[in-house]
Amino acid sequence: MSSYTFDEWYVIRLARTISDREVVFHGFASPCAQVAMHVAKRTHAPNMMLIEGAMYAINPDPPFIPPTSNDSSLKRGAAYSMRFEEFFDAAIRGDVDRMFVSGGQIDMYGNTNVTAVGPLERPKVKLGGGGGGCNISATIKQLTLWTTRHRSGRTVVAECDFITDIGHRTPAGTRDELDYTGGGPQCLVSELGVFDYDSDGRMRLQELWPDVTLEQVREATGFEFAVADEVVTVAPPTQAELDVLRVIDPLGIRRGEFDPREMEREFDLVGAGV
């Protein structure tokens, strides 16, 4: 019997947000999303176009995922690497189907803050910054949001202190009112559950991890969120997905995103839909 850890299941759930034949991008500092894209490419989405983070390499076959997103190992096997502007042009004209977005804060409409927590003039925490997200979150067709820090109670909040990347609506209006051509966040995958967004663009719980209760999610969330009529347990990973994940991320780069206590969550493969 094969057992697996939460970080593995989590990355595989992220991978399942990708459909075959999508053009998909992750940003820098995003190891879970990065590993998830390679898992998807090697399992259920062989014809996706994988654009490798800060290398802009198309469908590379890296020998391992390094701890930085612009190491040359990440373009190995790629027949072509886009120039910086080729990727961003594709993203703003609407040729990129999906991007992974996270943030120090994520609000109920899926806006994210990667700029500063607290007052802008004297932030409590100056975060690193958003890369290209401020513009391309407006035009990429679908966004997969993810966070591994939902449980902290500080991440999924009623309002972001600063909106860096755009969700479904901001105080300035909806995506339609802002003439934004992308569809916005399709889902949020957290270490507590999986959410989609209702017709008003509000976060709605759809799936729970088997060791998490609805009450725990409510306690960790800064607003009242909708709950689907039937909340299901996240589908377990297959052995094939686990095998691929362990090959592509032998250094365990994905684990750097988690609080150490999440690493204590272990599961076994009983009931997995292989």
Partner 1 sequence: MYLDPDKRVDLATAASYVHDGHMIALGGGLSARLPMAMVRELIRQGRRDLHVVGSAHSMDVDLLIAAGALAICEESYVGFEQDLGLAPAYRRAAETGTITVKESCCVTILTQLRAAEMGLPFLPVRGIKGTDMRRLHPEYAETTCPFTGEVLVAVPPLKPDVAIIHAPVGDAFGNLFMEQPYVLDEHFAGASKSVIATVEKIVPTEELHDRGVVIPGYFVQAIAEVPFGAHPASCYPIYSYDRAHMSTYVQAAAKPESADGYVADWVNVPGGEDEYRNKVGAESLARLTQWSESIDQWKGLFS
SS (HEC) of 85-134? HHHHHHHHHCCCCEEEECCCEECCCCCEECCEECCCCCCCEECCCCCCHH
CA distances to 80, 127, 173, 262 from 52, in Å: 11, 23, 32, 27
- The single residue among 1, 83, 230, 260 that binds partner 1, judged by CB under 8 A, is 83
Q: Does 131 bind partner 1 (CB under 8 A)?
A: yes
Residue 206 beta carbon to partner 1: minimum distance, rounded to whole angstroms: 26
Strands 203-208 and 193-197: antiparallel
**CA angle, 205 as apex, 230 and 107 as ends, to 5°?**
165
CA distances to 13, 129, 144 from 68, in Å: 23, 16, 21
Give the 3-state secondary structure of residue 206.
Answer: strand
Nearer to partner 1, 128 or 271 (CB): 128
Tokens representing residue 249 in the block: 């991320």
Total residues contacting partner 1 by CB under 8 A comes to 65
Nearer to partner 1, 232 or 251 (CB): 251
Q: Which stretch binds partner 1 (CB under 8 A): 38-46, 48-56, 205-213, 264-272?
A: 48-56
Pattern of binders to partner 1 over 134-173, x per CB under 8 A?
Answer: xxxxxx----------------------xxxxx---x-xx
Nearer to partner 1, 163 or 234 (CB): 163
Pattern of binders to partner 1 over 99-128, x per CB under 8 A?
Answer: ----------------xx---xxxxxxxxx
- Which positions touch partner 1 (CB under 8 A)? 28-31, 54-57, 63-64, 66-73, 75, 81, 83-85, 88, 91-92, 115-116, 120-139, 162-166, 170, 172-173, 178-181, 250-251, 253, 256-257
